[in-house]
Amino acid sequence: MDSNNLTVQQFNNEPVMSKRVAIIGAGIAGLACAYELQKAGHEVVVYEKNADVGGRMATRVKDGLEFNPGATFLSRHYHTLRDYSKEFGIEWAPLDAKRTHRVVRDGKAYPLGLKNPLEVLKLSVLSMSSRLRFLWFLLKLALQKVPGDFFDLSTTPDELDFDNASHHLREQVGDEVVDYIADPFTATLHFYLSDSVSTAMMLTLLKSMVGNSEFCAEYPQGGVQAIPNALAKTLIVIKNANVVSVTPAQAGVQVNVGGQFELFDAVVFACPAPAAKAMLAHPTQAQTELLASVSYGSTITLAFRVPVDLFADSTNCIYVPYVENKIISSCIFEKSKGPALVRDGKTLFNVYLHDQSAKELMGKSDAEVLATVLPELEKVCPELRDLLHKTALCTRGFELRNCPSPWPGGGWEGVDCRNTAKNLPHPSPPLARGGNKSEFRNSKTRETCDCIAPVHFHDIERWPHAMPKYLHGYVTKVKQFVQDRQGENGIYFIGDYMNSPWTEGAAQSGKRVAERIAHDLRSTTYDLQTESRS
């Protein structure tokens, strides 16, 4: 498209004068916004700083296994993402219906399920008195009309944003429910605790989740990144883009990309708030206050290749209460996703860190992260602990031994143990160096052989801005901005931190703001120009 010429197209049987819009960020929010604007007849350019699209909806294929370091599944009630998937022919499959969840208390695993309020009575991790208090709370909530949409928290009335979830729940149902249900549930999904969640978010989430048959995990063919990839193929996406600054100007909004200047009618920030804050020149007071109010929970995702029969039962997710472990927030056994996550008898076991521990480890090396995580992992997953502590013997009598640096640079070395009278479990785990097989080495003869090790370190991803925190008062602040200040000087903000939780909320945010931009642009009359400066 020649960006120097305005074109008139038809959209919804109305003439549309094509305008130029820049989207900063090719996550699901930015791609959805760009896709809808392009359908409305506008010229859209998406700038992405990374080499690939998707953001938290990323999928990496390594050693034949799909690793989703961010969003690891979708839900049947993600209607916007489901509609895009149907449009592009991406099929979703439900996770294994037999899968179960567990929560850890005092080093023991307890079953965890909450498909309907009455299942609270089966929560053996809680005392009976706590179960009854929790059941009464959920039954009252089920009978109440909780206004608002979880995926668009700006639709909730201000009076729902009256407290943080932790404080409110401790008053209503007690400390035990918060420590062993609310906090681990929040930390599994958001990596931080329920004191960083407002009552507006908590109440709308519980209302949308409990008893909702559509609240059911599913997995798209090709991984969660299949949807962003499909959207990106229809758009102009400039990857590895260095957006230096975005400056409102008299004739539009100027974007400096690596020293080259482009003029747009509107610019949409679809990136984390700190990145938007760094790029936006001359923000309004409202924009400054909005971006300054955003805070994020962090996590580090680690993936290990483990045997598909690691669990004797159908365990899928391990919820780890913060009162039990300050490092690990949850673990997910990926076998339930089907063939894409199973190869050569192995599947992935993903480990997610709590917000605070992730922040402390964010700048550490992979080896330092593993050195911290592995001992904690043994505490929360007995099956993995037993596997890690088994003496690994290959068919030629080589034993797997811990080297000082487990990963990377050293790995695990084998020594000849055929003359050992008794093979005792090692205090450190037999973690493989990499690949599907590990090298075992006879320390005397230097003879080597290949042997399949029980556990392999697979991959790691650091997420400094994993999930925004919806603190008490934050939902109301963003709601006011959306109503009164969104679009000032041609600048728009979208994504989960704009009261749009999770990937579905982010996609809805992009689609919703695209409609607003299209409306706003129809009322503008200034000429469109493109200028370049060195």
Number of domains in the chain: 3
480 in a structural domain: yes
Choose one of 410, 427, 453: the last residue of a domain.
Answer: 453
Q: Please tell me whether residues 496 and 446 are part of one structural domain.
A: no
> Is 478 within 8 Å of 498 (Cβ atoms)?
yes
Q: Please tell me whether residues 160 and 229 are part of one structural domain.
A: no
Choose one of 182, 209, 236: the last residue of a domain.
Answer: 209
Evaluate the CA torsion angle 117, 119, 124, 129 in order and state its sign: positive
| pLDDT at residue 453, rounded to an integer | 56
Average pLDDT over residues 455-466: 93
Does 531 have pLDDT greater than 70? Answer: no
Query: Measured between alpha carbons, how far is 160 from 1 in angstroms, rounded to an integer?
Result: 47
Tell me the residue range of the domain where 187 lies: 116-209
Pick from 501, 476, 471: nearest CA to 189: 501
Q: Kindly give the pairing relationship between strand 266-269 and strand 20-24.
A: parallel
pLDDT band for 96, please (50, 70, 90 cuts): confident
Query: Measured between alpha carbons, how far is 302 from 483 in angstroms, rounded to an integer?
Result: 40
67 in a structural domain: no
Q: Please tell me whether residues 409 and 481 are part of one structural domain.
A: no
Does 422 have pLDDT greater than 80? Answer: no
Q: Please tell me whether residues 234 and 291 are part of one structural domain.
A: yes
68 in a structural domain: no
Choose one of 180, 209, 238: the last residue of a domain.
Answer: 209
Burial 246-261 (b: 16+ CB within 10 A, else e): bbbeeebbbbbbeeeb
Residues 179-200: tens digit of each pLDDT = 999 999 999 999 999 999 999 9
State which amino acid sits at residue 171: E
Surface-to-core class of residue 501, CB atoms within 10 Å of its CB (0-12 exposed, 13-18 middle, 19+ buried)? buried
Does 385 have pLDDT greater than 90? Answer: no
Does 436 have pLDDT greater than 50? Answer: no
Q: Please tell me whether residues 449 and 483 are part of one structural domain.
A: no
Strand partners, 14: 11
Pick from 513, 490, 489, 488: nearest CA to 500: 513
238 in a structural domain: yes
**Average model confidence (pLDDT) across the chain:** 85
Looking up residue 504, the CATH number of its domain turns out to be 3.50.50.60
Does 353 have pLDDT greater than 80? Answer: yes
234 in a structural domain: yes
pTM of the model: 0.86
User: For residue 214, how many other CB atoms are within 10 A of its CB?
Assistant: 12
Does 399 have pLDDT greater than 80? Answer: no
534 in a structural domain: no
Query: Measured between alpha carbons, how far is 280 from 245 in angstroms, rounded to an integer?
Result: 6
269 in a structural domain: yes
201 in a structural domain: yes
Q: Please tell me whether residues 180 and 260 are part of one structural domain.
A: no
Residues 126-171: tens digit of each pLDDT = 999 999 999 999 999 888 888 899 999 999 999 999 999 999 999 9
Average pLDDT over residues 37-60: 97
Q: Please tell me whether residues 448 and 486 are part of one structural domain.
A: no
Give the helix/strand (H/E) hosting 507. helix 502-522
Q: Please tell me whether residues 439 and 408 are part of one structural domain.
A: yes
Average pLDDT over residues 287-303: 98
Average pLDDT over residues 491-511: 98
| pLDDT at residue 518, rounded to an integer | 95
Q: Please tell me whether residues 200 and 260 are part of one structural domain.
A: no
Does 259 have pLDDT greater than 70? Answer: yes
